[in-house]
Chain A
Amino acid sequence: MAGSQRVYRARIKSTLSLGKIFRAMELIAASRIGRARQAAARQRPYARALTRAVGLAAGHIHGEIRHPLISERPEVKRVALLVLAADRGMAGAYTANLLRAAEAHAAELAAAGYAVDRYVAGRRAVAYYEFRGVPLRRSWLGASDAPTFALAKEIAATLLAAFTAASDMDDAAGELHVVYTHFKNMVSQAPRIVRLLPLALVEAEDPEEIVVLSEKATGEKKAAEVFPLYSFEPSPEGVLDALLPRYIRSRIYDCLLQAAASELANRQRAMHTATDNAEDMVRKYTRLANQARQADITQEISEIVSGADALAASS
């Protein structure tokens, strides 16, 4: 019986040290969320100025706006699907939820007659696809919880190249959809699918107001603003030409940062639960260990008493 006491003590010890590790990971995730959210906040003035300038330039072009990033490409029945997932697990169902959303969307696209090209960031998602033998166009690893602007640049360049490729090229894409986890707040994050390309320029309801950018799938319209007459260098078209790729890049960076914040929030929650579970287990094992000790003592006493009884009876 002394053996079971030893087993319980050993379990308590290892569970305690696991609990410490979980707690540390929870704290690390918590501090990194702050960093990802700060990066998103720092990027906001840039994104806002960019969005406004794009709206301005588009509003000053008379007649129909023709730009490769705005035009639909009905001849290309191929959609680039950018999936932003995590590099590491230990974040609950974060990657599983995201991949489920991505694959449901891919199935819809396939049913509508589109071929789907997957571009994936995050080791977990890459492993998922590789295991299932799904071909990936391109993958990026190693920066899912602290994305850099350089990474956004690279992803944007790859996808813009696919979108502007000649339609007979084998990697040409007619649309770009992004699947990422939208960071609503610390407790609520949900997978979201956004059609990023081609950009939709939406006429504001009041003709005096200027065309604003919107993204179709989300159904969000950015508030229209009345702009004064501007002059442009070199020309409204030239400005738009330079701004749209930057706009895409900034949008992708924003998606990456939101995905990172969501991943870390999920990891923090998962690690918090794990810490709680570890504490519960320690409590349970402590009780069992006490019981085992009590049982040992009771047995020893009954052995002594029965020994004494036997001696008394024999004399």
Chain B
Amino acid sequence: MGCMRTNALAAAGGASGAAGAAGGAACLLKERLLGCVSLSDGALDWGRAAAVQYVPKTNFALPESVAVSMRGAPLAQGTDYAWDRNTGILSLPPAVGDVEVTVSAALDGTYYSQREYIQSSGTQYIDTGVYGSGNTSAELVFATLNTYPSGWWGVIGACQQDMIKAFLFDVYASGSAKCNVQNGTSVYSDIQYSFTPLTPYKVYINKTKTYINDVLVKTLSSYSYTTPVTMYLFWQNYSVSSSMYRARMRLYSCSIWESSALVRRFVPCVRVSDGAAGLYDEANGVFYGNAGSGAFDCG
């Protein structure tokens, strides 16, 4: 936020007019967006109907419906608010509290066709191109399969060698008993947890804290490090040698942040030109294909 000093401070008021005589009171507009950007400035004038426009990113198409709630209460499309996917204009009722909007655009199928998940069989992996560090956060949704490696297998991670400069989330065998998280050198911990096969689980590693399905399951100490190699999905990238199994799992989504900056936001997809399943990075508009052998399955 840049500093601004003014020579003359004058009347405050709404950017497009204010509600009533009082002037500038506003409500927060909280947006969850995928594959599109908002032209809103993030606030709505109090008590005034408003229109917000959303623009799809390249290769994405706006959805048929969007979700809106006000002050925690869901609103009904067509009744409480109107959505035009052709123009991207969302017409909202007068705001009298926090307004939450979710717009999930999908890959439009021209070059990439969106899928619910991609699935590995133990030979595939994806190089995210992102180095892990003590400031890295990652959120992913994955599911174990009915067949699985006999030891530890990597979901996401990189390291110099075992437990040295390591960012890692991994699962043991079927996942029926434990998983493991690492964040630095000799900063790691097993987590007693049971994953039901074919059931999606959300894992959120927020620097030192690890959540599974929004429940805090482990807090590690902070550690200053950077992985010497970039992080893999479906495996752990080693700069020395690998002793980690490649995953047999389904991946539904994955986002990676460096500090608070989003650097990857992966969407499962199939590349139309060759039918290859992989991940489309919504944040940068880049396709990431299989870096291993074989091919991903998808569903």
A in complex with B: no
- Which residues of chain B have a CB within 8 Å of any CB of chain A? none
Q: Residues of A at under 8 Å CB distance from B? A: none
